[in-house]
């Protein structure tokens, strides 16, 4: 079966037919976070390299499935599902259209024509937690997740372990925005939860909540504490307030794997990306250099090397974060 999909990819390259599709998991790709990382660093680059990319921004889960099935019927290949919410639709479409190849981000769909891309978020979150604890003066830090789901558990678990590696007595406040996809696009609720944590003396808050993080950042600015961004480099949104951003190179992954399809080297199966080659990382630039100091950076880089080289003292606990997160 795998060989069949290799031959399909080669045929696409030979015929110079490059029509890919990207289906986001929420109504707007411009969330300054996960979806926008795919657009900015994946879709735009694909277009520059001559790929026709059809994008679809669904209003709800029903539209996700309808959109993916329609794109498959129209011959787009490969089709990328951005986010775990596209998994049921990808699974159904992969079964109905075995001649089409699919790529899904942040979830696993077991089918001979699906490539599942996962990230080791717990590794980046560990570094974020360590930095948060180093920066905190109150000994209380916060975590705000979009939904209480296995994927976000990986962020939360890694963040907690990293913070505890600095201060075993540190207090970590945790709140989640909701139980529907709206949780990822609710800045007002993000603002409300951030203020709630700040009132409990949290002085660094990590937002793993997509577009809802914009409210967290606003609260951080209003109360002059620090926040940590996620997925995209969000440092520019509140310079000097955002301590760093735990970036996931989802756009890079989309670009890499769509191009591999047209080059005839694409493979189905499960692939994981972590700190190696900076697939996840903490962002430092001119917008946060005053708060993410060189001293902090040296500490974080040392810890990063320990994780990559499998020498971290708490590595077994960190690996358990991935298991608890559903990998």
Contact 218, 38 (CB under 8 A): no
Closest to 225 measured CA to CA, from 116, 130, 137, 154: 137
Q: What is the pLDDT of residues 203-226, one digit of tens each?
A: 999 999 999 999 999 999 999 999
Could you tell me if 118 and 271 are in contact, meaning their C-beta atoms sit under 8 angstroms apart? yes
Express as a percent the part of the chain with pLDDT over 90: 88
Distance CA 79, CA 124 (A): 28
Beta bridge partners of 175: 144
> Can you give the pLDDT at residue 143?
98
**Banded model confidence at residue 3, pLDDT cuts 50, 70, 90:** very low
Instruction: Say whether pTM exceeds 0.85.
Output: yes
SS3 193: helix
pLDDT at 7: 39
As a whole number, mean pLDDT of residues 86-106 equals 98
**In the predicted model, is pLDDT for residue 41 greater than 80?**
yes
State the pLDDT confidence band at 70, using cuts at 50, 70 and 90.
Answer: very high
Six token digits for residue 320: 């358990």
Cα–Cα nearest to 46, from 194, 293, 260, 203: 260
Note the Cα 159 to chain centre separation in Å.
15
Highest mean pLDDT among 28-32, 145-149, 317-321: 145-149
Asked if 250 and 29 count as a contact pair (C-beta separation under 8 A), the reply is no
Alpha-carbon distances, residue 116 vs 134, 266, 267, 270 (angstroms) = 35, 12, 10, 5
Identify the CA nearest to 205 among candidates 246, 168, 167. Answer: 246
Above 50 in pLDDT, residue 31? yes
- Are 117 and 268 contacting, i.e. CB atoms less than 8 angstroms apart? no
Q: Where does 2-119+250-277 sit in CATH, by number?
A: 3.40.50.2300
Sign, Cα dihedral of 258, 261, 266, 267: positive
Model pLDDT for residues 296-323, shown as the tens digit of each residue: 999 999 999 999 999 998 889 999 998 8
Q: How would residue 325 be classed by pLDDT, with cut points 50, 70 and 90?
A: low
CB 24 within 8 A of CB 83: yes
Give the pLDDT band (50/70/90) at residue 324. low
What's the rounded mean pLDDT across residues 258-275?
97
For residues 254-264, average pLDDT: 98
DSSP calls for 229-290: EEES--GGGSTTTEEEEEEE-HHHHHHHHHHHHHTT----EEEEE-TGGGSEEE--STTTTT
| Confidence at residue 315, expressed as pLDDT on a 0 to 100 scale | 87
Q: Residue 157: enclosing H or E segment and its boundaries? A: helix 150-164
Write down the CATH superfamily of domain 121-247+292-322: Response regulator (3.40.50.2300)
pLDDT at 25 over 60: yes
Query: Between 26 and 279, where is the model more confident?
Result: 279
Report strand pairing: 52-56 vs 79-82. unpaired
Question: Does the pLDDT at position 166 exceed 60?
Answer: yes
Is a pLDDT exceeding 60 seen at residue 12?
A: no
Q: Output the pLDDT for position 5.
A: 40
Fold match, 2-119+250-277 / 121-247+292-322: yes
Predicted pLDDT at 16? 60
What are the structural domain ranges in the chain?
Answer: 2-119+250-277, 121-247+292-322
d(CA 207, CA 95): 36
Burial of 54 (0-12, 13-18, 19+ CB in 10 A): middle
């Amino acid at each position: 079966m795998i060989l069949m999909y290799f031959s399909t990819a080669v045929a696409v390259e030979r015929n110079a037919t490059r029509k890919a599709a990207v289906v986001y998991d929420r109504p707007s790709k411009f969330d300054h976070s996960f979806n926008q990382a795919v657009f900015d660093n994946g879709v735009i680059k694909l277009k520059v390299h001559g790929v026709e990319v059809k994008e679809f921004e669904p209003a709800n889960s029903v539209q996700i499935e309808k959109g993916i099935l329609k794109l498959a019927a129209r011959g787009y290949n490969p089709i990328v599902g951005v986010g775990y919410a596209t998994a049921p639709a990808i699974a159904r479409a992969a079964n109905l259209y075995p001649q089409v190849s699919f790529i899904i981000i942040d979830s696993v769909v077991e089918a001979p024509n699906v490539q599942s891309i996962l990230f080791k978020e717990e590794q980046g979150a560990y570094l974020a937690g360590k930095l948060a604890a180093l920066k905190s003066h109150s000994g209380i830090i916060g975590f705000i997740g979009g939904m209480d789901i296995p994927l976000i558990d990986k962020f939360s678990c890694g963040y907690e372990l990293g913070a505890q590696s600095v201060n075993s007595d540190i207090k970590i406040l945790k709140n989640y925005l909701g139980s529907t996809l709206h949780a990822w696009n609710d800045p007002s609720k993000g603002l409300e939860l951030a203020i709630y944590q700040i009132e409990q003396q949290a002085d660094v808050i990590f937002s793993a909540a997509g577009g809802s993080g914009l409210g967290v950042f606003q609260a951080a600015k209003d109360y002059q504490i620090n926040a940590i961004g996620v997925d995209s480099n969000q440092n520019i949104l509140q310079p000097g307030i955002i301590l760093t951003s735990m970036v996931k190179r989802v756009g890079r992954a989309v670009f890499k794997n769509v191009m591999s399809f047209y080059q005839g080297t694409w493979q189905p199966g499960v692939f994981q990306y972590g700190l190696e080659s900076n697939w996840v990382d903490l962002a430092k630039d001119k917008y946060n250099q005053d708060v993410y100091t060189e001293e902090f950076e040296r500490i974080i880089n040392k810890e990063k090397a320990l994780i990559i080289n499998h020498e971290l003292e708490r590595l077994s606990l960190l690996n358990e974060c991935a298991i608890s997160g559903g990998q």
